Amino acid sequence: MRVAIVYNHRPETLAVVQELEKLLVAHRIVRNDDHPEVVVTVGGDGTLLKAFHRYLPQIDHVRFIGVHTGHLGFYTDWRNYDVDRMVDALSRRQPSSVSYPLLQLKITAKDGVHVYTALNETTLKGIAKTLEARVYIKNEFFESFRGDGLCVSTPTGSTAYSKSLGGAVIHPRLKALQMTEIASINNRVFRTLSSPIVIAPDEWITIIPGEMTDFVVTLDGHQLWHRQIEKLEYRISSHVIRFDKFEHTHFWSRVEDAFIGWDDTGQK
Ligand code: NAD
């Protein structure tokens, strides 16, 4: 078994990493950050996003385990004080995993065609001026958008930025993509649907920006740099992300814990 560790540099994280390294040696598990079978992240959701992008070229061969050193994250199932149980399970149990869809973004620009993969979402946002764009679904014209921007998210990304935009929380076992609007202009001249939409697995969204050039494209919180983007195409990736299954928190418990945090007696 080859295990990689990706972590942030908070003192509480470094203490967990030290303990984890000792436990791996004790269980004769090899630390291999270049060609792992399992990637353990220690930190928060941001650490897991970083690890996902680092190991994207090997995504079909790795599975992830997230250990959180802050409060429960969406991609982090294990608590910092549970790492000994986690390593023990890793050394004894048959590998089993749960997989979730990813988003493929294809950008056609003056400098060529570029393909990216997102775990959470990708956004297209005007900077100072209004974003103008035509939206197509399955190559059929859908709407002319004017406003601050558009966000296309995966089911696991539905609890991140997409939720702040009024998107629905989507169970990550559903193979779907959700498009949400960011401050669309709706008046007698301009009209958009003004609701988030969820597309089916065999559908794709195409966005063609208008003449303006001052807009940005982000992917999982990072800006992509391309000059003169002509077209953006969003579809469900043919790859998935796999998480180790042995301590995978019930999705709706995670949603309740993150966003509501009350028990059934009304106590926090
Ligand atoms: P960050 O790393 O500071 O993360 C911002 C917050 O988003 C953190 O609390 C993190 O735990 C949470 N988060 C990340 N992925 C999540 C998920 N799938 N479900 C629920 N919560 C999640 O921010 P960053 O590095 O700029 O971007 C990373 C991600 O954070 C982005 O992909 C975006 O989805 C999200 N984000 C959300 C908002 C917002 O809701 N307004 C703003 C910025 C970033």
Nearest CA to ligand 1 atom 27: 221
Query: Is 45 noted as a catalytic residue in this protein?
Result: yes
Ligand 1 centroid distance, CA of 259 (Å): 14
Dump the DSSP string for 47-82. Answer: HHHHHHHHTGGGGGG-EEEEEESSS--SS--EEGGG
Nearest CA to ligand 1 atom 2: 46
CB burial of residue 128 (10 Å; 0-12, 13-18, 19+): exposed
pLDDT of residue 115: 98
Whether pLDDT at 207 is above 70? yes
Q: Which residue has the higher pLDDT, 53 or 93?
A: 53
- Structure confidence by residue, pLDDT tens digits, 151-195: 999 999 999 999 999 999 999 999 999 999 999 999 888 889 999
Catalytic, out of 34, 45, 84, 264:
45
pLDDT of residue 201: 96
Q: Please give the span between the terminal C-alpha atoms of the chain, in angstroms, as a whole number.
A: 41
pLDDT of residue 212: 75
Is any ligand 1 atom within 6 A of the Cβ of residue 143?
no
Percent of the residues in the chain that have a pLDDT greater than 70, as a whole number? 97
Is 249 within 8 Å of 156 (Cβ atoms)?
Answer: no
Q: Which residue has the higher pLDDT, 96 or 8?
A: 8
Is 44 within 8 Å of 77 (Cβ atoms)?
Answer: no
Whether pLDDT at 247 is above 80? no
Ligand 1 atom nearest residue 121's Cα: 32
Ligand 1 centroid distance, CA of 161 (Å): 6
Is any ligand 1 atom within 6 A of the Cβ of residue 244?
no
Nearest CA to ligand 1 atom 23: 221
Ligand 1 centroid distance, CA of 164 (Å): 10
105 pairs with which residues across the strands? Answer: 116, 234
Percent of the residues in the chain that have a pLDDT greater than 90, as a whole number? 77
pLDDT of residue 93: 77
- Structure confidence by residue, pLDDT tens digits, 40-73: 999 999 999 999 999 999 999 999 999 999 877 8
Ligand 1 atom nearest residue 120's Cα: 32
Ligand 1 atom nearest residue 46's Cα: 2
Average pLDDT in the chain: 93
- Structure confidence by residue, pLDDT tens digits, 211-223: 877 899 999 999 9
Q: Which of 234, 207, 209, 231 lies closest to 219, judged by CA?
A: 234
**Mean pLDDT over residues 99-108, rounded?**
97
Is 7 within 8 Å of 65 (Cβ atoms)?
Answer: no
- Structure confidence by residue, pLDDT tens digits, 118-148: 999 999 999 989 999 999 999 999 999 999 9
Band of residue 266 on the pLDDT scale cut at 50, 70, 90? low
pLDDT of residue 102: 98
Whether pLDDT at 77 is above 90? no
**Distance between CA 162 and CA 199 in Å, rounded?**
15
Q: How is residue 138 annotated by DSSP?
A: T
Q: Which of 176, 230, 228 lies closest to 203, judged by CA?
A: 176
User: Best of 161, 222, 260 to mutate for ligand 1, by most ligand atoms within 8 A of CB?
Assistant: 161
Domains of the chain, start order: 2-96+245-260 (3.40.50.10330), 102-238 (2.60.200.30)
pTM, full prediction = 0.95
Is any ligand 1 atom within 6 A of the Cβ of residue 120?
yes
Is any ligand 1 atom within 6 A of the Cβ of residue 73?
yes
Look up residue 187 and give its amino acid.
N
**Distance between CA 143 and CA 134 in Å, rounded?**
6
